[in-house]
Structure 1
Amino acid sequence: MLRLAVLVLLLANLGYYAWSSGQLQPWGLAPQSEGEPERLQRQIAPQNLELLPAGRSTPPPAAPPATPVPAETPPAPAQVAAEPVACLQAGPMDEARAQGLRTALASLPAGSWTLEPGEVPARWMVYMGRFADEETLARKRAELRALKLAFDRPGAAFEPGLSLGRFASEEAAQRGLADLVARGVRTARVVQERAAQPRYTLVLPAATAALRAQLDALALRWDDTPLQVCT
């Protein structure tokens, strides 16, 4: 058996040598040739090869593409400064004064002014009077001082008399009277000092210099209701 194995191995080596050396090529048994035609067929794009000069191993980097210079942007047109405006108001004023302004301001641009309605609320008073003479008035003042109660003049419509307090509602005035009665006052009563009265406020929401000039040209008299900045 050993001899047979050695013989087989020897024959195999002889066969491989004959195959690899091309001795069996006439019978079509030979390894694939690595000759020049086969290598040329396996080249890929040989025209792209570049021969470098001595001392350089890589081609120089390609220059970056030139960045286009943007066209100069023309300067934006200068903005015209907005005309300053201010909110102005005048008042409060009564119905007669408001009606006069409606007529006088009719020549101004529409929407440049308005009369805002409001109201002066009614007011009540705890009142003593009307007294027959100054002597009676002086005696009542002395009585109130003795009771250590404050008082003042009631206004022209209620003279001669005394006011012992003014209130924003009739109910509050009645409570004030009850307190005074408890402290010894006997002849006081609650009266309405004034009824509710309409009032108006003139408002110019966006008064420009041009509008002020128009307003000045009307030569209006503001008296105790001058124009001022809106509050």
Structure 2
Amino acid sequence: MLRLAVIALLLANAGYYAYTQGWLRSAGLVTPEQAEPQRLQQQIRPETLKVLRAQGATNNPTPPPAPAVAPAADTAASAPAPTAAAPADAGECLQAGVFDDKQAAALRTAAAALPPGSWSLEPTPITGRWMIYMGRFDDQDTLDKKRAELRARKVDFDRAGGTLELGLSLGRFSTEEAAQRGLTALNAQGVRTARVIQERQAATGFILKLPAVTDAQRQQWLATLRPAMAGKTLSSCS
């Protein structure tokens, strides 16, 4: 029974295929045409119709991407860095002092030969100074005898200097009170003829400052200033 059903199904399929292909046209079995002629008759000027491509469409193949260009920053980084110029000699700050009014006047005259702005005389206070003084002696022999006596008593001394020659200094102090205490101690050692004097009055002094002296300028400027520096020397600014 199943076999007959299969055979009947095969025959039915074969007959339908022959029918759709028009092979049974001679037997009067024709498939109806799938057409609607009335629609063709309703068309208005069909020859004017054109087929348009969708927007953005193209028949050309997509061009290959352009080769990447290295960023400007990378190019700059790969270039050799410019060689830094050697720093110029900025010069060294030098100073000397303290100078009194007379010495400062001589320095101003000498420093006028230097470039403008390359030097200055800066005021600074000079405190008073007191000395335990012994003298003034009449001659060198008397001075030498007094020195021998002080050595025997183990008392320190040095030259008084300046207008206090011929004389001896047994100590210099920033205040009169300190000098008096020092004299009392010396009296206890047997020193009787010494006294306290004011060696220097409080005043305004001056410091010579050269803010930027190069190695090439040092010797020339020092030669210009040395005669007016009263024996003082230049040193680095503190």
Q: Give the partner amino acid of 1:71.
A: P
1:190-211, Cα deviation, whole Å (9 max, x unpaired): 0122334613222224x568x9
Q: Is the 2:110–2:225 Cα contact (8 Å) retained in structure 1?
A: no
Normalising to structure 2: TM-score of the pair? Answer: 0.50
- Identify the match of residue 190 of structure 1 among 188, 192, 196: 196
Deviation at 1:77, TM superposition (A): 7.4
Q: Give the partner amino acid of 2:70.
A: P
Q: Is the 2:121–2:206 Cα contact (8 Å) retained in structure 1?
A: no
Q: Which residue of the partner structure matches residue 71 of structure 1?
A: 71
Aligned length: 161
Alignment of 1:7-22 (within 5 A): none
The structure-2 alpha-carbon separation of the partners of 1:100 and 1:177, relative to structure 1 and needing over 3 Å to count, comes to: same
Whether 2:168 is the aligned partner of 1:162: answer yes
The structure-2 alpha-carbon separation of the partners of 1:227 and 1:165, relative to structure 1 and needing over 3 Å to count, comes to: closer
- Identify the match of residue 84 of structure 1 among 70, 86, 89: 89
Write the distance in 2 (CA, Å) between the matches of 1:219 and 1:164. 36
Unaligned 5+ segments in structure 1 are: 1-64
Q: Is the 1:123–1:192 Cα contact (8 Å) retained in structure 2?
A: yes
Q: Which residue of the partner structure matches residue 222 of structure 1?
A: 226
Deviation at 1:220, TM superposition (A): 2.2
The structure-2 alpha-carbon separation of the partners of 1:225 and 1:190, relative to structure 1 and needing over 3 Å to count, comes to: closer
| Identity across matched positions, percent | 43
Q: Let me know the Cα RMSD of the aligned residues.
A: 4.0
Q: Which residue of the partner structure matches residue 96 of structure 1?
A: 105
Write the distance in 2 (CA, Å) between the matches of 1:126 and 1:84. 49
Deviation at 1:66, TM superposition (A): 9.9
Q: Is the 1:177–1:188 Cα contact (8 Å) retained in structure 2?
A: yes
Greater Cα offset, 215-224 or 117-126: 215-224
Q: Which residue of the partner structure matches residue 152 of structure 1?
A: 158
Normalising to structure 1: TM-score of the pair? Answer: 0.51
Whether 2:179 is the aligned partner of 1:173: answer yes
- Identify the match of residue 123 of structure 1 among 106, 129, 149: 129
Alignment partner of 2:181: what SS? Answer: helix
Q: Is the 1:116–1:203 Cα contact (8 Å) retained in structure 2?
A: no
Write the distance in 1 (CA, Å) between the matches of 2:233 and 2:162. 27
